Amino acid sequence: MPIEDHSLINEFPEFKEEIHHLKMEDAHFKKLYDEYNHLTKEVEKMEQEITPSTTAEEELLKKQRLQLKDTIQDYIKASTAAVKA
């Protein structure tokens, strides 16, 4: 089964410029961004069976990544709204 690309740019292509700007200028966003990428890499290793794991462990990381993705999306939208205001 092909692995989907879960990069933030792929997940939020409409916010590509905002993601880049926040990553470069906002330390808190950079931390969230790095954590999301780390979780994504760990999930990919599990999916590719590079890192042995149970289904429950893999699902837990996927849930954490999804929650973090929601947090990042809210952060981007709030940042974008603040700039427009």
- Taking only the tens place, the pLDDT of each residue in 26-83 is 999 999 999 999 999 999 999 999 999 999 999 999 999 999 999 999 999 999 888 7
pTM for this entry:
0.90
Reduced 3-state DSSP string for 20-72? HHHHHHCHHHHHHHHHHHHHHHHHHHHHCCCCCCCHHHHHHHHHHHHHHHHHH
Per DSSP, 3 falls in state: P
Q: Each residue of 16-52: b (16+ CB within 10 Å) or e?
A: eebbebbeeeeeebeebbeebeebbebbeebeeeeee
